[in-house]
Amino acid sequence: MRYLGHNKKPIVDRVKPRSDSEKIDGMTVLPVKREIAHEVISISYGFLTPLEGFMNHDEVAGVTSDMELPDGTLWSIPIVFDMSAEEIEQRNLSEGDSVLMSYQGAPMATFDIDEIYRYDNAEMAEKTYGTKDPKHPGVRRTLAYADRFVSGKVTLINEPIFNEPFARYWRTPRQHLDAFAQKHWTSVVAHQTRNVPHTGHEALMKQAWFAANEDKPVDEIQTGILVNAIIGEKRIGDYIDESILLSQDMLREAGYFRDNIHMVTFTLWDMRYAGPREALLHAILRTNLGCTHHMFGRDHAGVGNFYKPYDAQSLLKQYREKLLIKPVFLKENWYCPECGEVTNAALCNHDRASQNFSGTLLRSILDDGVQPTRKVMRPEVFRSVMESSEKYGMGSSFVTEKYLKGRQPIFTLQKMEVLKA
């Protein structure tokens, strides 16, 4: 059972590396953008089990309308490959073709096309995100899709070589399971993040760890915390990827978590900011990594005011019976000076107006290089963020145009002989 993924389906494994000398003769070469390359990797290694490729028309229709694949498997967000009709015609693509996907000039994967179809982008956006407003980044992304979609299975033939510091945090789903077994973890609590940690995040992880052990005798506790960071599309003002990983791991290195209960990894995924629906997808994703519990707090995967604070928790409650992972629902934390500790509304009745862990305030403090009080951010975490900003962020802890243009790549692909597109 350790190697079963979402909905008790085997973990997908569509990785078949080819040697340098092996030519890929006669195949049409199809260059892909970064977003598609990330999803090819995630599909092929099984992060998105049971998907084996990009969705066809019926799969998209079922997911957007009913959050189900045709076989009844719970799934909440369309995973699609869009192309323009002109490009399809230019490359002479047809249903039944097998083509070679390339990324940054190197071969990456084979793609067996089974359907080329139309879909109403506006309908897909509204049903997935619950709004038509183009200010929503997921809606904006969907409305920008081309006028055709291409579905079919993908097979990774050229495995990514991750650069530091990403390499030390990269694990496939099967490698997650192996690592959990080596640590003797019988239960694992997943923490979803795209931020550097403040003490409120730390408290949430510890609260979730206790919740996962609610019915276990002390001498039988073998529970770990998996901090699985989302690494993907970056917006100006986001934390840089390197800082997220290194500062999250610093909580363990500095001793705020024991070595045997804390681990940091990442998943290649572009956040859709789909709120409740993305929370469901995160539950599915972490099930595929072997996690048994998943913490969900306030505004999980939301953006702006498009969703109510605890909408994600409400949707997860509705689908609890179809999940193979146990949601751990948590309240928003803040530091209360009267209590002298990190607490939340379920426990503390003091005025919290000026005590929130304000993301905007914290970002402005970090951008000025000012160390927050240790009651808000551990000093070791602050130093890690500052070191990362100098080493990787070109002097900033946050994504800038300069960072986007000059950052080191997350991974590279080995150059193999590729026919011209």
Return the CATH number at 77: 3.10.400.10
pLDDT confidence bin for 420, thresholds 50/70/90 = very low
The mean predicted confidence, pLDDT, of the chain is 91
Higher-pLDDT residue of 154 and 218 is 154
- Is residue 104 situated within a structural domain? yes
Q: Is 151 found in the same domain as 283? A: no
Task: Give per-residue pLDDT as tens, 69-106.
Answer: 999 999 999 999 999 999 999 999 999 999 999 999 99
Burial 379-408 (b: 16+ CB within 10 A, else e): ebbbebbbbbbeebbeebbbbbeebeeebe
**What is the band of 42 on the pLDDT scale with cuts at 50, 70, 90?**
very high
Q: How many CB atoms lie within 10 A of CB 1?
A: 5
How confident is the model over 376-404, as a mean pLDDT? Answer: 94
Q: Give the model's pLDDT for residue 261.
A: 96
| 118 and 222 share one domain | no
My answer on whether 296 and 242 are in the same domain is yes
Query: What CATH number is associated with residue 235?
Result: 3.40.50.620
In this prediction, residues 42-64 reach a mean pLDDT of: 98
Separation between Cα atoms, residue 168 and residue 250, nearest integer Å:
13
Same domain flag for 125 and 248: no
* pLDDT reported for residue 421: 45
261 and 190 in a common domain? yes
Within-domain flag for 415:
no
Distance of CA 138 to the CA centre of its chain: 14
The predicted pLDDT at position 418 comes to: 52
Would 417 be classed as within a structural domain?
Answer: no
Alpha helix positions (H), 256-350: 276-288, 311-318
In 3D, which of 280, 234, 249 has the Cα closest to residue 384? 249
Q: Confidence class of residue 419 from pLDDT cuts 50, 70 and 90?
A: very low
Residues 254 and 304 in one domain: yes
Boundary-marking domain end, from 130, 159, 188 = 159
Domain check: are 221 and 154 in the same one? no
- 90 and 169 inside one domain: no
172 and 140 in one domain? no
pLDDT over 70, % of the chain: 94
- What pLDDT, on the 0 to 100 scale, is given for residue 93? 97
Contact between residue 83 and residue 150 where contact means Cβ atoms under 8 Å apart: yes
Q: Are 30 and 118 found together in one domain?
A: yes
| Same domain, residue pair 39 and 186 | no
> Does residue 421 lie in a domain region?
no
Q: Which of 125, 159, 193 is the last residue of a domain?
A: 159
State the residue range of the domain holding 236.
163-406
* pLDDT at 145 > cutoff 70: yes
* 173 assigned to some structural domain: yes
Looking at the 3D structure of the chain, how many domains does it have? 2
Q: Which residues contact 220 (CB under 8 A, 6 or more apart)?
A: none
Do 141 and 185 lie in one domain? The reply is no
Domain contains 51? yes
Assess if residue 419 is contained within a domain: no
Looking at 111, 127, 159, the residue that finishes a domain is 159
